[in-house]
Chains A and B, each alone.
Chain A
Amino acid sequence: MQHILIVEDSPTMRSLVISALEELGEPVRISEAASGFEALRALPRDQYDLIVTDINMPDINGLELVSFVKGNAAYRSIPLLIISTEGSERDRLRGLELGADAYLVKPFEPEILRRTARELLAKIRED
């Protein structure tokens, strides 16, 4: 079963993302991290096939997390999707340059999230 890590500090947003992904049409396991720090701890504890992260978080921001994941041989190949509320265009581009695989703007249609997640999960299966 593929494993998704969701990094998001807002509990409401987290449960919305989770409930969207629970209807992916294929069985997935979902883990949550409520901050960048929690994500850093979660990474070595398990195998993940997709990371979904917010940018604006209190401890380390999403870009710093992307930089950590993509700069680390052990995690580099995990597809990474940034979901962030409409905001700085520069931060969005920066995220993609740091190696994020896709970017979604909140509010998003659950179906678009599912489609993106399916594509990214398929990509890692092929690799």
Chain B
Amino acid sequence: MAARRKRSPARSKASREFVAEVDELLERMRADLADLGDQRARGSLVPDLVNRLFRSSHTLKGVAGMFGFEGIGALSHRLEDILDDLRMGRLDPRAPALDLLDEAVAVLAVEVELVGRDEATPEGSAELLQLQTRIEAALHHDPVAVAPPESLGVDESLFRALTEYEEHRLRESLRSGRLLYVVEAGFDLLAFEDGLAELSEASRALGEIISTLPAPGDTPESQIRFSLIVASELDRETFERRLDVAAARVRPVPAGRAETKPDADSEDGRAEGNAGDVATTPAAAREQARDDRPSALPEATLPGDTDVSDELHLRPADDLESLKSISETVRVDIRKLDELMNLVGELVIQRGAIGAIAEKLLGEPSVARLARELAKAHKMLDRKLQELQAGVLEVRMVPMRQVFEKLSRVVRRLRREAGKDARLEIHGGDTELDKLIVEELADPLMHLVRNAFDHALEPPGERVAAGKPAEGTIRLEAYQRGNHVVIEVSDDGRGIDLEVVRARAVARGLVAPDALLTPRQTLDLILLPGFSTREEITETSGRGVGMDVVRENVTALGGLVHVTSRRGHGTTISLTLPITLAIIQALVVGVGDQRFAIPLTAVLETLLVDPVEILRSEGRELLNLRGEPIRLRRLHAEFGLTAPAAGARQAVVVVGLGDVRAGLLVDRLEGQQDAVLKPIQGPVRTVHGIAGATELGDRGTVLVVDVAALIEDTGRRREAA
């Protein structure tokens, strides 16, 4: 084997890539190990899961080796050994060595964190070395009896491309008396994945897919044929009947009969498996002789177990202790977290009520001492509740990477289907957001990326002519700004043609033909309902979803959409979102006889103004805020409430989202409070400017102002004038 690269671990982009990939591998392994733990406890392992774990550790070993992290490489090599033994039936699924897997993954995670901070040494930490020794000791099982690999007794030509593992699964299947079928179907070469996925799923329902072998189709330029080798307990008739895929052809693989068969006889190098002529080819015999890896009979490691079927069976565990999971991570249903969050929210409200009582009591001289103690206890409760709240919120946070990865798969698929090259750059995948928000963002982001790919990026010829690289770039970036997270989707495509946008908006009656619009306002037109047309739906951008739906989804999350574009240089769509939806701190304001809550994240400042300070210009009301005019909106007018008596001093809540600011005129400021936002179902939902409702302890239910909606109107009106 080649000499190991001797060099100190690189501190480069490559090493960041390394950390990102290893993190991902470890995350997948953690999840798979949790499943493996369950399966061991139940006494039956699913081969696919074990194989996936093996592949993860194998990849881990490979990349660590390339980067010269010998310690990580050696420990993942040990993992790989254990998992290889397990998948090849050489290790009892109850073996104590398996109990060390979770720990190894945890140790590797710590080590990779060190790599990320440039604090790792090539040979690895002391914990890592120590664990390696422990695994070696645990793995020291007596060598199992090695049975000479026997002939498979089936048509070998189909099986020439099986890996050692796949061949092991094949032998296992034959040994357990299952029948082998070849399920074949032809597909269009450029779009085979969906059809193949359907075929695989249908086959998997009937047995175990051992191998997926591609071969040229009848017209090799445009077609591809896949042969799935499936092991199943069903007889041929049942198998064929239940494999409900129209295009598929099923043929059984005759087993255990002799045949003589030259290797590549049919035109495409594959044999048609005629019953009655099977044998090992000389080549196969040679391979088997060379096969230096021990391959044990499973009976040797699973004594007494004859019921071998779809899963690797264990005898009922008499030593349950050793099966105890040592996993340090737990996977939780998001709905349970929602319930927990609701509960915390209700506690927060109760705390508010207690606070109010304490405050009232403080005014009663007769109970002053008790009141002070209550106030103190309340303060302590307050602090602990804040910690609890922060803790629950933290659990809900997930990195944007999860969505970004889905998007990069989408781009890869688009690339294949459209035959157009585009690079996807991803930045800030570590930025965290509430899981709920991340999920809600998946569709809008998908749409933005598809839009960029389909419409924004020019064909390569056009790009080169414009002096740009032939391959376009789509860039996804997430970063935190204050209490918000900004997610940007940019492209280096043709940019938005303001004239075309304007012309279309006029044609659709969204704007008057003679309206004076700034560039920014013109861009905002694409966010209006009815702007996108169904005429130009492409297969990929399809579904007739326009930018208005993107905006609607983002607004529903309390966010804001902002478009910037430079003709010939590209377009950036940025989404500004709150970090969480679950609990907001709100400023409670009074308007007439009603109360409203304004999310504190959007509040910049509050002030009191005399009516004379309010300027009027062209039907708009403005306030001079330290030299800068901001647009005022009267909440009475917005929500159809009675206006206060003229001449009274009024409170202004200055709100901002992104870089747009506005002042909301209210009657009273009633203080700050935690609020649990509950979406409103039913007719109220359609009220413009209301985001939802919240309960405020002793003050009952109040409506939450949708700052984003009010500000957007303000922005548009500000520039429209």
Contacts and interface: CB of A to CB of B under 8 A. Distances in A.
Interface in B262-313: 264, 268-270, 283, 287, 290-293
A74 interface: yes
A3 B54 CA distance: 33
Contacts of A66: 161
B163 A55 contact: yes
B21 interface: yes
A67 B156 CA distance: 14
B333 interface: no
Contact of B161 (A9, A15, A98): A98
B163 A88 contact: yes
A50 to B, nearest CB: 19
A94 interface: yes
A70 B161 CA distance: 11
B2 A97 contact: no
A64 B269 CA distance: 13
30 contacts: A10-B21, A10-B59, A11-B17, A12-B66, A16-B14, A36-B214, A37-B192, A40-B214, A44-B190, A45-B419, A58-B55, A60-B212, A60-B214, A64-B212, A68-B213, A68-B216, A70-B269, A71-B264, A71-B270, A85-B61, A88-B293, A89-B291, A90-B291, A90-B292, A97-B283, A97-B287, A106-B66, A107-B4, A107-B5, A108-B2
B59 A56 contact: yes
A108 B222 CA distance: 37
B190 A41 contact: yes
B212 A72 contact: no
A108 B66 CA distance: 7
Interface string A47-85: 000000001101111011111101111100000000001
B220 interface: yes
B224 interface: yes
Query: Which 4 A-B pairs give the minimum distances between C-beta atoms?
Result: A71-B269, A107-B65, A85-B62, A67-B161
B193 A91 contact: no
Per DSSP, chain B at the interface is mixed
A98 B220 contact: no
B374 interface: no
B211 interface: yes
Given A12-B18, A41-B190, A56-B55, A93 B63 contact: no
Given A12-B66, A68-B214, 4 more contacts: A12-B14, A19-B14, A90-B164, A106-B66
Interface in A106-122: 106-109, 112
A104 B5 CA distance: 14
B522 to A, nearest CB: 39
A124 interface: no
B189 interface: yes
B214 A34 contact: no
Contacts of A91: 163-164
A94 B2 contact: no
Contacts of B163: 55-56, 61, 63, 88, 91, 94
B416 interface: yes
Interface string B47-75: 00000100100110111011100000000
Interface in B187-238: 189-190, 192-193, 211-216, 220-222, 224
Interface residues of A, number: 51
B376 interface: no
B156 to A, nearest CB: 12
Given A15-B14, A60-B214, A90-B291, A106 B221 contact: no
B193 A105 contact: no
A89 to B, nearest CB: 6
Given A41-B416, A97-B283, A13 B58 contact: no
Given A38-B416, A105-B1, A107-B66, A71 B17 contact: no
Contacts of B62: 10, 13, 85, 106-107
Contacts of B270: 71
B106 interface: no
Contacts of A87: 58
Give the residue among A58, A72, A98, A104 with the most B Cβ atoms within 10 A.
A72
Given A12-B63, A107-B66, A98 B160 contact: yes
Given A16-B14, A66-B161, A108-B2, A72 B58 contact: no
A126 interface: no
A12 B161 contact: no
